[in-house]
Structure 1
Amino acid sequence: MQFFSTFQHTHFVELAISKLKENEIDDIYAVPLDNRQVDTKLFDTTHGMDGTSLIDIGLILAMMCGTIGVARGFVLDWGPVVWGLIGSVVGFIIGFVFDVIKTHHRRKKIRTAKGSEVIIIVQCTNEQSQFVEMTLWNNMALGVAKTRMQSQKWTQEGY
C-alpha cells in the first residue's frame, strides 16, 4: 500500500514520521512544497479573476458624497447638479484608492506568509495500512489518499 498525505509545515509532520519509524515503517518520503513566487495581479483580466472588487466602496462613497453635494449645492454657486457630480467623483476616487491600498496590503501579506505544505508518501504492507492511516490523520494531515498495487497496476483506493 502507498499513502499520500499533505501537512502544514509544523511539528506534526515530525511527530507522524517518528511514530511511523517507531513501528518499523521505514519507506517514508517527505517533500516540502514551494511557496508561490509569482506576484498576483492587482487588476483582473477577462481570463483570470480572483473575486475581489475594487469599486464597491467607491460606488458607496460616490452615492453618499453625491447626495451631500446635491444637498449643499442648493446654497453654493454652481448649483446642485454640478456639486452632486463633484461629490460623486470625489467619493468614488476616495473609495477606489482605499480599495486599491487595502487589496495591495492583503496580497502582500499573503505573498509573505510563511509555512508551506509538506507531502508525505509512505509505503507499507496491507497489515500496516490501518495503523499508517490513523497515524497520519491523528497528526493533523490535511488530506490522505491510499493506493494499492494489483498485478503491476496502481489503483486508487475507493474508486
Structure 2
Amino acid sequence: MHVVATFDHSNFLELAITDLKQNGIEKDSICAIPVKKITPEIQLLDSIHGADGQSMFDVASILGTIFMLFGVLWGFLWKWGPIIWGLIGLGLGFAVGFAIKYFIYFRKTKTAITKGRQAEVVLIIKCEKEEILIIEKVLKRHFALAIGTKQ
C-alpha cells in the first residue's frame, strides 16, 4: 500500500516524518519529493489552441469609437479635416483602451497566479494495510494539505 500526502515546506513536514519513524515506519519507506512551482506563461492574445476568456479589445474598441467621434466633430474646426482627425482619434483611443486593459489584465492574472496555497512537498509512504490509519492520523495531526491511499 502507498499513502501519498502533500505538505507546505515547513517544520510540520519534518515533524510528520519524525513522528512516522517513531510509529515504526522505516526510513526507506518514506520518500519526500519537493515540487517546483511553475508559473504559466501569460499570453496577450488568444490563439486557436487556447483562450482564457478575456477580451483585450472591448475597452479598446469603445474608446476608439469615442475618440474617433470627437476627432470627427472637432476635425471640422482643425486644419487636416474630419476624416484625418477621426482616424487619429480612432488610433489614439484604441491604443489608450488597449493599454488600460493590458494593465488590468496582467495585474489580475499576476495576483491570481500567486494567490492561494499550493503544495510544495509530496510525501510518499510505503506501508502495510494495517498501518494506514496510524499514518493518516499522523499526517492530519501535522497539517497535511491532502492525503490519498493506493493499493
Letter in 2 for 1:131: I
Q: Which residue of 2 aligns with 1:73?
A: 74
| Unmatched segments (≥5 aa) in structure 1 | 149-159
Q: Which residue of 2 aligns with 1:152?
A: none
TM-score by length of 2: 0.66
Cα deviation digits, residues 53-96 of structure 1 (max 9, x gap): 332432343344345546x53873334x7655543331221222
CA distance in 1: counterparts of 2:30 and 2:128, whole angstroms: 13
Calculate the aligned-residue CA RMSD, in Å.
3.5
Q: Which has the higher helix share?
A: 2
How many residue pairs match? The answer is 142
Q: Which residue of 2 aligns with 1:124?
A: 127
Q: Residue 7 and residue 74 in structure 1: after superposition, are their counterparts in 2 closer, same or farther (change >3 A)? A: same
Q: Residue 91 and residue 116 in structure 1: after superposition, are their counterparts in 2 closer, same or farther (change >3 A)? A: farther
CA distance in 1: counterparts of 2:63 and 2:143, whole angstroms: 45
Q: 1:28 aligns with which of 27, 30, 41?
A: 30
Q: Is the 8 A contact 1:63 1:91 kept in 2?
A: yes
Q: Percent identity?
A: 34
SS in structure 1 opposite 2:52?
coil
| Unmatched segments (≥5 aa) in structure 2 | none
The 5 A counterparts of 1:138-157 are 138-148=141-151
CA distance in 2: counterparts of 1:33 and 1:129, whole angstroms: 24
Q: Is the 8 A contact 2:6 2:119 kept in 1?
A: no
Q: Which has the higher contact order (CA 8 A, sep 6+)?
A: 2
Using the TM superposition, give the Cα deviation of residue 122 of structure 1 relative to its aligned residue in structure 2, in angstroms. Answer: 0.8
Q: Which residue of 1 aligns with 2:63?
A: 61
Q: Which has the higher strand share?
A: 1
Larger mean CA deviation between 1-10 and 35-44 belongs to: 35-44
